Structure 1
């Protein structure tokens, strides 16, 4: 496949604790992640105990990734070499299920257990018995019906997948995403309701019966694996890449976090198919949105959009893997100057998709997802010279990170025409971010409408008069002596085109 600009940027980016790569199937996420694992192995495995792990969802993907890795390793054997390269370190490619089951077996061995994984028919039989028993404690509770057996099995699976084994956790948690066909279960289970209390008791009784019959379910296997891993310090990984992570449960995510060895250069990378079918117990997907809150930190995010026909199965031969030269002409370069806080940010956007925003800071490049951006209307033009007729038509839109404008209501952008404000770092062609206001303080840079004409100047409020002051000696101050004058807004930022 061809590796594009975004793949290259991700592969060679500086380490970030959490990274998220999103895209439809066939957009090159897995192949780029394999190259990333090679880059990390050669540049950010500094000690003999540093290890790289690639987690997959099935054995077929494991074999495909191993084949692609061999080809990629041959191709990049000189490109990725550094003084930190260590041939002894080889990434492990394992299914998440296999590594969790390995720790479950260790748990069994430690506590001298010999359990059998329950099959669906036995699960239904036990659950029906539990429903009848709990019904004795809640005779008026309508939801305790045998017809709802599958609903209760699924709900218990969700509780255990989330590790909500304490009553208070389940009773108070927001329970969204459950939808039942009519006659198969309730449509809603309110917080702290009698229904929730009954379901929690149902789970406790279900677990007790499993234990008496020497059974475990899949959720128990994962919980015991997590407990075992939490009790040991060996076998941790400096870099972890998780393929098809959209269906991770909370317990699985906690397990992966526990596998992670925290160092200043450690990384964890999640690959998510945005067009896949999601597990109802997924902790990474809420509704149709990616849920990054469980990661607990700022996440470096990448979105891959270009589709590659052969990406469904990663390539097995070196001849099939082609790396394009980087084409920097695909991106426009800008700088955002934050007037309020005296800071500046370099960022880029895609010519063909202006909502693709990549900000460069001391931690490296960070691509913002749509939920992290604000769309500002752009009006053209406003004079940074003599007043000109204001154009109220929207010229276009500009996307920038929301946190640059935290607390700002009704912002918009004016495109500058003229050079009267060059002393304030506002040049001809710049985009000025305006906070819509009808009042301003002395020395603020303001956009002002003077009888239908607009200009951008610094406000000077004197004892006997008000002036609009240019920041260029070529221009004279404008005296405000007309009632037909009002403030449009205050300048809070400047966007400068750098290409």
Structure 2
């Protein structure tokens, strides 16, 4: 667990009472909590009775925290011999901690109550209470089994908030209690017979629960709270609450009761309200800390950088929540800041049936084995029933897979993990596959019986967001039959159909936006919908202009005339020739027939280099031999009928721009023209080696080996022997006129001045940033407001060169 500067500052803060740490998913909140635990034990537990508590909500996360802390202890085991006092450390869940005091309370009251979690049994007892009470509230229509789910949730909420007085309930505001449908009143009116009836129902329901020998968890928590309020509990000097946004008010009050008041005591709330996925949570609904007795003015720290996921995954996940007013308007919302770490865009696949879905999972996991271990992959579903079917199928197909057990998880077992969205919270995996993102599954309105759809949507959107942000490198998302409406909220620009392809998932193109309609016989055909989609992808993703596309391209198969759905033409030696043949089929109709047809068409024309077949749900690219190719080739400048390739060179040393005109037939013929004077430079051209891309990592020795070059005038360079070029990957320098795909010219040097654009090597990986020196530290600044600056110690940064120019369009 290597921490950055801002994380380490939080870990090493002197304890001064209460504080909060707000952070986005992947910002290292849990790592900070674990390190803080060790720091407090080492430096601020100097009295024999000092104790530390780290409490969390999620059981799976608890085991992960214990696993990580054990490793941390093993790394620093030798220091324990130097401590005068070894502080007791308790790492537990809030449920387990409160259950301990519930048992004490039960023994003190001499009662035996069994915790009941089965919703069906709970509703059965609730309906009994409704039946026995309805005669006393005949004018209250809400007191009916028809509204059992609402009534149950309302009773749970009252107990989770420790509302035990009818006058308090009559006057309290209800957050996110939208009503007004299915014959319900517009809202739960204050000081009304309706509220009086619900409160009386709560009391009678609790009585029936005790009569049956049961207790639900909100009542269990209340008994634990009463125990620590009335009797001396075990006290802790330092308390860290991970996932504090998920705890109820009663749980938070309980924790405050087990805190001692020593001068060096501390309590730290670690939270991300965007990941608040439980409807009884208190702080997660945007309530201030003052409601539980803490004023956080000047006591909050923020972690806004997501180090877990790539920029591509972060953008897609943020797109899911950015239009939700309830999330964005939360007082503790933290907007994620992008870091310069790029990878594959999230992959989305839709399937018409479960059979093809399961087959895809098996095939994709097997393909991933070239780059990952089984244990690096986690399949995540909203509900456990989907995981059971997948686990059974994959096991039968020879893929090692198991559902991670909450009580005894085995993180190191080399098998594909299966977890629900709730259980994966707080964990991370290199590859995450979110499955069965279907309508009726997420969001699920099954228990939403009073028109509270928007509230449920927000909670489910958060849950979806949690699942997306668990992925380090790769994120897959799948739907079967009917996709979730939440998927439509993610910008398609951020999604792909396949890992190594640029093509975006299928979407319907409106007929008014159809292209090349003068070549279309039937605008209303099902096949035309798919053809217009792939035409849109060819233009939008692969940069082919309409002038190179031709529909119904004729091919001759012996005596039979055939027509290719789409032909992509290119110009070569002044002649227009077909380059790619594309066959399209109706959406979801399958591609096998089209693939056979495509192979026969490829055999009729030796100029065609690639074939594509798609039905909108699958897309296969092949070469003339029928072998699969990873992706459709992008359009190149030489495909146009023009005679010259046109590039632009920006000379940073003189801040001048030049047009670079390269003859397509002979690259040795090149003219470089000053854009201001329009004069052509007359001087020898020097070959500069292109040694790779700037985001891939650049050892110093790498410039001795290269496979491509660009040519520039000697006057553009400082010393040709110390010059190399890199292809730009990523968009962190776009405001400096350096775009993805550009070629930057670099002078190799080990020093830099403030304001220089440099190639900096950090942990053996190269990044391009603007350099700023601050004493013993440096700031590596992006030229894109979406990225945060990087603050590093000078000793940790190796300068590999200074950017002296950029060649655009190469």
- Per the normalisation by structure 2, the TM-score is 0.37
Superposed, which structure 2 residues align to 1:73-92 within 5 Å? 73-75=73-75, 85-86=83-84, 88-92=86-90
How far 1:36 sits from its partner (Å)? Answer: 0.8
Q: Does 1:19 align with 2:19?
A: yes
The equivalent of 1:55 in structure 2 is 55
The equivalent of 1:64 in structure 2 is 64
Runs of 4+ displaced beyond 6 Å: 80-83, 350-354
The two structures, once aligned, show a CA RMSD in angstroms of: 3.1
How far 1:270 sits from its partner (Å)? Answer: 1.3
| Cα distance change, pair 185–35 in 1 and its aligned pair in 2 (3 A) | farther
Q: Partners in 2 of 1:331 and 1:232 — Cα distance?
A: 55
How far 1:136 sits from its partner (Å)? Answer: 1.6
- 5+ residue gaps, structure 2: 310-424, 430-762, 764-774, 790-810
| Cα distance change, pair 312–223 in 1 and its aligned pair in 2 (3 A) | closer
For the Cα contact (< 8 Å) 1:138–1:198, is it kept in 2? yes
Q: Does 1:171 align with 2:135?
A: no
The equivalent of 1:296 in structure 2 is 293
Deviations 1:333-376 (A, max 9, x none): xxxxxxxxxxxxxxxxx99769xxxxxxxxxxxxxxxxxxxxxx
How far 1:327 sits from its partner (Å)? Answer: 8.0
Q: Partners in 2 of 1:238 and 1:174 — Cα distance?
A: 35
| Cα distance change, pair 183–331 in 1 and its aligned pair in 2 (3 A) | farther
Q: Partners in 2 of 1:165 and 1:328 — Cα distance?
A: 57
Superposed, which structure 2 residues align to 1:228-267 within 5 Å? 228-267=227-266
Q: Partners in 1 of 2:186 and 2:246 — Cα distance?
A: 23
Task: Give the secondary-structure state (helix, strand or coil) at the position aligned to 1:91.
Answer: strand
How far 1:26 sits from its partner (Å)? Answer: 1.3
Superposed, which structure 2 residues align to 1:151-300 within 5 Å? 151-179=150-178, 182-183=181-182, 186-286=185-285, 289=286, 291-299=288-296, 300=299
Deviations 1:35-62 (A, max 9, x none): 1111111211121111011112233222
Q: Does 1:46 align with 2:81?
A: no
Q: Partners in 2 of 1:81 and 1:117 — Cα distance?
A: 40
For the Cα contact (< 8 Å) 1:52–1:238, is it kept in 2? yes
| Cα distance change, pair 116–187 in 1 and its aligned pair in 2 (3 A) | farther
How far 1:100 sits from its partner (Å)? Answer: 0.7
Q: Partners in 2 of 1:58 and 1:89 — Cα distance?
A: 24
How far 1:207 sits from its partner (Å)? Answer: 1.4
The equivalent of 1:135 in structure 2 is 134
Superposed, which structure 2 residues align to 1:339-488 within 5 Å? none
Q: Partners in 2 of 1:329 and 1:254 — Cα distance?
A: 44
For the Cα contact (< 8 Å) 1:43–1:81, is it kept in 2? no
| Cα distance change, pair 331–271 in 1 and its aligned pair in 2 (3 A) | farther
For the Cα contact (< 8 Å) 2:52–2:236, is it kept in 1? yes
Q: Partners in 1 of 2:776 and 2:58 — Cα distance?
A: 35
Q: Partners in 1 of 2:64 and 2:183 — Cα distance?
A: 40
The partner residue of 2:95 within 67, 92, 97 is 97
- 5+ residue gaps, structure 1: 316-321, 333-349, 355-499
How far 1:243 sits from its partner (Å)? Answer: 1.2
How far 1:313 sits from its partner (Å)? Answer: 3.7
Deviations 1:147-181 (A, max 9, x none): 10111111000001111011122111111222358
Q: Partners in 2 of 1:47 and 1:314 — Cα distance?
A: 37
| Cα distance change, pair 185–121 in 1 and its aligned pair in 2 (3 A) | farther
For the Cα contact (< 8 Å) 2:57–2:247, is it kept in 1? no
The equivalent of 2:796 in structure 1 is none
How far 1:74 sits from its partner (Å)? Answer: 4.6
How far 1:331 sits from its partner (Å)? Answer: 11
Q: Partners in 1 of 2:65 and 2:219 — Cα distance?
A: 29
For the Cα contact (< 8 Å) 1:135–1:144, is it kept in 2? yes
Q: Partners in 1 of 2:183 and 2:216 — Cα distance?
A: 22
The equivalent of 1:470 in structure 2 is none
Q: Partners in 2 of 1:268 and 1:330 — Cα distance?
A: 33
| Cα distance change, pair 94–307 in 1 and its aligned pair in 2 (3 A) | same
| Cα distance change, pair 73–199 in 1 and its aligned pair in 2 (3 A) | same
| Cα distance change, pair 220–28 in 1 and its aligned pair in 2 (3 A) | same
Q: Partners in 1 of 2:11 and 2:287 — Cα distance?
A: 22
| Cα distance change, pair 153–185 in 1 and its aligned pair in 2 (3 A) | farther
How far 1:6 sits from its partner (Å)? Answer: 1.6
How far 1:218 sits from its partner (Å)? Answer: 0.9
Q: Partners in 2 of 1:329 and 1:196 — Cα distance?
A: 61
The partner residue of 1:108 within 100, 106, 109 is 106
How far 1:236 sits from its partner (Å)? Answer: 0.9
Q: Does 1:149 align with 2:145?
A: no
Task: Give the secondary-structure state (helix, strand or coil) at the position aligned to 1:309.
Answer: coil
How far 1:230 sits from its partner (Å)? Answer: 2.1
For the Cα contact (< 8 Å) 2:253–2:292, is it kept in 1? no
How far 1:264 sits from its partner (Å)? Answer: 1.6
How far 1:16 sits from its partner (Å)? Answer: 2.8
User: What is the total number of aligned residue pairs between the two structures?
Assistant: 324
How far 1:328 sits from its partner (Å)? Answer: 5.5
For the Cα contact (< 8 Å) 2:276–2:284, is it kept in 1? no
| Cα distance change, pair 187–50 in 1 and its aligned pair in 2 (3 A) | farther
Q: Partners in 2 of 1:184 and 1:101 — Cα distance?
A: 40
Q: Partners in 2 of 1:155 and 1:35 — Cα distance?
A: 39
The equivalent of 2:767 in structure 1 is none
The equivalent of 1:6 in structure 2 is 6
| Cα distance change, pair 128–173 in 1 and its aligned pair in 2 (3 A) | same
For the Cα contact (< 8 Å) 1:177–1:280, is it kept in 2? no
